[in-house]
Chain A
Amino acid sequence: MIAAGAAFSWNPVTDWQALTSQSFMRNALIAGTIAAVLCSVVGSFVVLRGLTFAADALTHVGFAGASGAVLFGAPPVAGLLTLTLVAGTGIGVLQERLRGRDVVIGMILVGALGLGVLLLRLSSGYANQTYALLFGDILALSTRDVVVLGCAAALAVAGTVAIFRPLLFASLDEEVAESRGVPVRVLAVAFMLILAVAASAATQVIGALLAVALIVAPAASAQRLTHRPVRAVAIAVALGLAIVWVGLAIGYWLPYPASFFVTSMAAITYGVSRALGA
Chain B
Amino acid sequence: MSASGIRTQDSVERAPPDAPAVALRQAGVRAGGRWIWRNADLTIRDGEFLVVLGPNGAGKTTLLRVLLGLVSLNAGSVRVAGEDPRSARRQVGYVPQRRAFDRDLYVRARDLVALGVDGTRFGVPLSAAERRIKREMVDEAIEAVGATAYADRAVGHLSGGEQQRLLLAEALVTRPRLLLLDEPLASLDLGGQAQASGLVASVARSRGITVVLVAHDVNPLVSVLDRVAYVAGGRITAGTPDEVITSQRLSAIYDHDVEVLRDRLGRIVVVGLDDSESHHD
Contact A227–B124 (Cβ < 8 Å): no
Contact B106–A182 (Cβ < 8 Å): no
When chains A and B are docked, how far (Å) is the Cα of A10 from the Cα of B70? 63
A sample of 12 more A-B contacts (CB under 8 A), given A163-B122, A179-B96, A181-B86, is: A165-B115, A172-B155, A176-B116, A176-B167, A179-B68, A179-B92, A180-B116, A227-B111, A228-B107, A232-B106, A278-B106, A278-B154
Quick one: closest B residue to A278, CB to CB? B154
Residues of B81-110 at the interface with A, using a CB-CB cut-off of 8 Å, are 86, 89, 92, 94-96, 98, 102, 105-108
When chains A and B are docked, how far (Å) is the Cα of A175 from the Cα of B171? 12
When chains A and B are docked, how far (Å) is the Cα of A165 from the Cα of B111? 11
- The proximity string for B residues 145-183 relative to A, scoring 1 for CB distances below 8 Å and 0 otherwise, is 000000011110100000000010011000000000000
When chains A and B are docked, how far (Å) is the Cα of A48 from the Cα of B105? 7
When chains A and B are docked, how far (Å) is the Cα of A112 from the Cα of B35? 44
Tell yes or no: A82 within 8 A of B by CB. no
Partner among B98, B108, B115 whose Cβ is within 8 Å of the Cβ of A227 = B108
Given contacts A169-B115, A172-B115, A176-B170, A227 and B120 within 8 Å (CB-CB):
no
Contact A228–B108 (Cβ < 8 Å): yes
Tell yes or no: B32 within 8 A of A by CB. no
- The proximity string for A residues 162-199 relative to B, scoring 1 for CB distances below 8 Å and 0 otherwise, is 11011011001101111111100000000000000000
Contact A177–B119 (Cβ < 8 Å): yes
When chains A and B are docked, how far (Å) is the Cα of A227 from the Cα of B104? 11
What chain A residues lie within 8 Å of B108 (beta carbons)? Answer: 227-228
Partner among B70, B98, B106, B115 whose Cβ is within 8 Å of the Cβ of A223 = B106
Tell yes or no: A94 within 8 A of B by CB. no
Partner among A162, A179, A181, A232 whose Cβ is within 8 Å of the Cβ of B123 = A162
How many residues of B sit at the interface, in one of the four size bands?
20 to 34
- The proximity string for A residues 102-118 relative to B, scoring 1 for CB distances below 8 Å and 0 otherwise, is 00000000000000000
Quick one: closest B residue to A50, CB to CB? B102
What chain A residues lie within 8 Å of B70 (beta carbons)? Answer: 178-179
Contact B120–A182 (Cβ < 8 Å): yes
Chain A binding site: helix, strand, loop or mixed by DSSP? helix
Partner among A161, A162, A179, A226 whose Cβ is within 8 Å of the Cβ of B94 = A179
Given contacts A169-B115, A180-B89, A227 and B107 within 8 Å (CB-CB):
yes
Instruction: Looking at the assembled complex, report how far the CB atom of B93 sits from the nearest CB atom of chain A, in whole angstroms.
Output: 9
Top 9 closest pairs, chain A to chain B, by CB? A169-B119, A175-B96, A227-B108, A223-B106, A179-B94, A169-B115, A179-B68, A227-B154, A180-B120
Contact B123–A172 (Cβ < 8 Å): no
When chains A and B are docked, how far (Å) is the Cα of A169 from the Cα of B118? 9
When chains A and B are docked, how far (Å) is the Cα of A169 from the Cα of B119? 5
Contact A166–B111 (Cβ < 8 Å): no
Contact B106–A227 (Cβ < 8 Å): yes
Residues of A84-104 at the interface with B, using a CB-CB cut-off of 8 Å, are none
Quick one: closest B residue to A228, CB to CB? B108
How many residues of A sit at the interface, in one of the four size bands?
20 to 34
When chains A and B are docked, how far (Å) is the Cα of A165 from the Cα of B6? 14
A-B contact pairs, 11 of them (CB 8 A): A50-B102, A172-B155, A173-B112, A175-B94, A176-B167, A177-B119, A179-B70, A182-B119, A182-B120, A227-B111, A232-B106
Tell yes or no: A229 within 8 A of B by CB. yes
When chains A and B are docked, how far (Å) is the Cα of A42 from the Cα of B54? 43
Contact A224–B106 (Cβ < 8 Å): yes
Given contacts A173-B115, A179-B68, A181-B89, A166 and B94 within 8 Å (CB-CB):
no
Tell yes or no: B267 within 8 A of A by CB. no
Given contacts A172-B115, A173-B115, A165 and B153 within 8 Å (CB-CB):
no
When chains A and B are docked, how far (Å) is the Cα of A228 from the Cα of B154? 9
Residues of A119-148 at the interface with B, using a CB-CB cut-off of 8 Å, are none
What chain B residues lie within 8 Å of A278 (beta carbons)? Answer: 106, 154, 157
Contact A165–B98 (Cβ < 8 Å): no
When chains A and B are docked, how far (Å) is the Cα of A50 from the Cα of B108? 18
